[in-house]
Structure 1
């Protein structure tokens, strides 16, 4: 007897369904991660504040420029020019406070300092 799953039409249908499932699952997973991040009290506080890019630049020059360069164009650490095009606000906050990407140290700015730093990074 002919096995139904070995027919080319059936295999193509399964492949199409698997691709569709991935196309649906990936955005849902990303949305879910952002929802969890957005529920963090620190993150919620940071994104609710208006940052001052001038203050953010000062914070950057004191804490970040040693690795990322005075103009955030890279040195030991990568360039941060146009970083908001590559990372979300949540991703940037997590990157700064987590210390999960050695050699970048864990940095715990106040919510206002973080909002200022984000404002500066978004102005690059």
Structure 2
């Protein structure tokens, strides 16, 4: 008795895999674009991002409002270390994190757009 031979159409299988991969990449790309658009829809975030911040002012703001929990150099105390934070979060995400107070015990902080731009500029140096 002969064993049945299963014939696979390799080309068709490769085409389907490529199509699914392309659909997945397209979905991811559209999701990222949609998330970015959503972040930029906040007028406060847009206002902050339009201003060029001043690092020295940002450092002073950090010392007054953030150093108590994050340490004088952002090394972390009660709050986490902020070193390389801008490598992990977008500018819009950093703004939302600061003003949102969504990670207890971090308080809500709603500075003027100019003050937030200065703080953001300083955070990106850590």
Q: Same fold (TM over 0.5)?
A: yes
Partner of residue 57, structure 1:
59
Cα offset, 1:57, TM superposition: 0.6
Partner of residue 109, structure 2:
107
Q: Secondary structure at the match of 1:97?
A: helix
Larger Rg: 2
More helix by percentage:
1
Structure 1 residues 100 and 8, CA, compared in 2 at 3 Å: closer, same or farther? farther
RMSD: 2.0
Query: Among residues 65, 84, 87, which one is paired with 2:86 in the alignment?
Result: 84
- TM-score for the superposition, normalised by structure 2: 0.81
- C-alpha distance in structure 2 between counterparts of 1:12 and 1:78, whole Å: 47
Q: Unaligned regions of 5+ residues in structure 1, if any?
A: 1-6
Query: Among residues 117, 121, 124, which one is paired with 1:122 in the alignment?
Result: 124
- C-alpha distance in structure 2 between counterparts of 1:77 and 1:16, whole Å: 45
Q: Unaligned regions of 5+ residues in structure 2, if any?
A: 1-7
Partner of residue 30, structure 1:
32
Partner of residue 4, structure 1:
none
